[in-house]
């Protein structure tokens, strides 16, 4: 999630019979290790009554379609969750939701049973490295053909073992017919050495094109001391796109032929977009296929981006719509940088949690609204955009003081959920279902 209030989560996974053979390895240019920062604790704050700053006025007409207030209704209160960081729908079962816990467990919930307490279907806490606040098991995605192959993918941070350094890992696991996930089935696809404890991304998901997308952080510390943001030869500070179904060139994955840096010298072909500081949650709009991403800021601005192929989103020269403070390559607006859709200042929150565009059918007045939140203060906003352009600026739609929203989730029917902890990062884990208050 963030830097100043550093609240992001990371992933660490490994099984008793972990398979590392053939995993792609990325090695950055070594630089001095930054001094670890203390583990922060978000302070509950009242929900602001004003909306955050949005894109600078362009003079274009703004749609008058109203954005409704959103209420949060707690669901599955009997599920005793510890630091839930993601809610994911199983693609072949509309009645099953999977909750990712930062420490290394995955909990399956029967969504048809309000009294369901959930069951643990994967427990990899032993190898998960979650010593600091932005480390741990961060994200899970089911293969689109999960019903056939039973594959799911995770992103996690792993501790130094033997000759392997501290690193971030993308791995595949295989579920059994009864829904349990076999820890020993792990196949490591990609490992990225982690120069600092924070800024680990990350979200793993599949796009409508069938490829796997992954957001990585910039490597951590502060102000990107390794220069990963503008380095297209680094897998950090980027959004990656790979083909997990067609391994090639000795790697356990292939590279889509239309990835923007394929065949370009001194560039990693896995990169889909770059210049992203630390995307904490991204999603595809079901209707348009657009990628919405919440990129956590440094010291002044949080932003929402619509990410496009080959796009450079400006980090570190840019933070939001502004030159980054205190760096030598700070830059005014430049055509080579894609500006955010919206931003908000740190007086309104310090760690953005990206969300979803609602595309369900139960609430027509919410259709087309993109919801997102701030992890530290609990505020939730909504906006409307068409064709990558803002049509209705962000407004506060709800939230809950003292609740730390770690992630939104989307069910197969388009219903939206919000998971996180109450009364601080280490408080009880909860899941809320979202709906218009009217």
Section 262-280 average pLDDT = 97
| 69-to-38, 234, 293 alpha-carbon distances in Å | 36, 41, 22
CB environment 213-222: b (16+ within 10 A), e (fewer): bbbbbbbbbb
pLDDT value of residue 24? 55
Residue 27, pLDDT > 60, answer no
d(CA 332, CA 317): 8
Residue 328, pLDDT > 60, answer yes
For the chain, the domains span 83-366
Task: For residue 270, report the phi and psi dihedrals to the nearest 5 degrees.
Answer: -70, -20
Q: Which residues pair with 139 in a beta bridge?
A: 155
d(CA 27, CA 192): 7
pTM of the entire predicted model: 0.87
Strands (DSSP E) found in 124-166: 137-142, 151-158
The 10s digit of each residue's pLDDT in 204-258 is 999 999 999 999 999 999 999 999 999 999 999 999 999 999 999 999 999 999 9
Strands (DSSP E) found in 76-209: 81-82, 84-89, 96-101, 105-110, 119-123, 137-142, 151-158, 167-175, 181-193, 204-206
For a pLDDT cut of 90, what percent of the chain falls above it?
A: 77
pLDDT value of residue 195? 86
| 185-to-19, 20, 188, 362 alpha-carbon distances in Å | 8, 11, 10, 39
Q: What is the mean pLDDT of the chain?
A: 87
Residue 422, pLDDT > 80, answer yes
The 10s digit of each residue's pLDDT in 161-200 is 777 778 899 999 999 999 999 999 999 999 998 888 889 8
d(CA 437, CA 72): 9
Of residues 20 and 279, more confidently modeled: 279
pLDDT band at 48 (very low <50, low <70, confident <90, very high): very low
Number of C-alpha atoms within 13 angstroms, CB side, residue 229?
27
Closest CA to 306 of 330, 332, 279: 279
Closest CA to 285 of 410, 156, 171, 437: 410
Residue 110, pLDDT > 70, answer yes
pLDDT band at 157 (very low <50, low <70, confident <90, very high): very high
DSSP per-residue letters across 17-36: T-B-TT-EE--PPP-PPPPP
What is the distance, to the nearest Å, from the Cα of residue 32 to the centroid of all Cα atoms in its chain?
A: 27
d(CA 401, CA 374): 11
Q: Which residues pair with 214 in a beta bridge?
A: 204, 240
pLDDT value of residue 23? 52
Alpha helices in 135-263 (DSSP H): 146-149
pLDDT value of residue 6? 39
In CATH, 83-366 is 3.40.50.1970? no
The reply to whether omega before 202 is within 30° of 0 (cis) is yes
């Amino acid at each position: 999630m963030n830097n100043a209030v550093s609240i992001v989560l990371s992933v660490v996974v490994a099984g008793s019979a972990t398979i590392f053979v053939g995993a792609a390895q990325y090695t950055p240019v070594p630089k001095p290790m930054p001094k670890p920062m203390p583990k922060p604790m978000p302070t509950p704050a009242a929900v602001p009554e004003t909306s955050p700053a949005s894109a600078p006025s362009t003079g274009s007409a703004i749609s008058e379609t109203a954005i409704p207030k959103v209420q949060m209704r707690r669901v599955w209160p009997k599920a005793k969750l510890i630091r839930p960081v993601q809610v994911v729908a199983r693609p072949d079962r509309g009645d099953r939701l999977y909750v990712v816990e930062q420490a290394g467990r995955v909990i399956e919930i029967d969504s048809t049973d309000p009294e369901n307490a959930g069951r643990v279907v994967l427990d990899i806490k032993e190898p998960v490295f979650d010593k600091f606040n932005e480390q741990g098991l961060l994200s899970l995605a089911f293969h689109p053909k999960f019903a056939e192959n039973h594959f799911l993918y995770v992103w996690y941070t792993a501790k130094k073992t033997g000759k392997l350094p501290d690193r971030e890992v993308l791995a595949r696991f295989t579920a059994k017919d009864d829904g349990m996930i076999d820890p020993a089935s792990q196949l490591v696809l990609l490992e990225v050495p982690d120069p600092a404890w924070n800024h680990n991304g990350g979200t793993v998901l599949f796009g409508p094109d069938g490829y796997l997308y992954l957001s990585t952080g910039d490597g951590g510390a502060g102000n990107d001391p390794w220069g990963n943001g503008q380095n297209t030869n680094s897998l950090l500070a980027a959004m990656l796109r790979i083909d997990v179904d067609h391994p090639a060139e000795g790697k356990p994955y292939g590279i889509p032929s239309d990835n923007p840096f394929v065949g370009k010298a001194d560039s990693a072909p896995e990169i889909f977009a770059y210049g992203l500081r630390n995307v904490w949650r991204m999603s595809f709009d079901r209707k348009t296929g657009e990628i919405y991403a919440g990129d956590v800021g440094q010291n002044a601005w949080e932003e929402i981006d619509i990410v496009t192929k080959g796009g450079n989103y400006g980090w570190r020269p840019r933070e939001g719509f502004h030159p980054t403070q205190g760096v030598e390559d700070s830059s005014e607006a430049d055509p080579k940088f894609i500006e955010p859709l919206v931003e908000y200042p740190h007086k309104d929150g310090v760690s953005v949690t990206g969300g979803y565009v609602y595309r369900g059918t139960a609430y027509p007045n919410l259709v087309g609204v993109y919801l997102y939140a701030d992890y530290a203060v609990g505020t939730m906003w909504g906006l409307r955009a068409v064709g990558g352009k803002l049509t209705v600026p962000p407004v506060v739609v709800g939230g809950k003081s003292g609740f730390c929203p770690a992630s939104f989730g989307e069910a197969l029917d388009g219903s939206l959920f919000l998971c996180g902890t109450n009364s601080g990062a280490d408080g009880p884990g909860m899941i809320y279902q979202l709906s218009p208050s009217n």
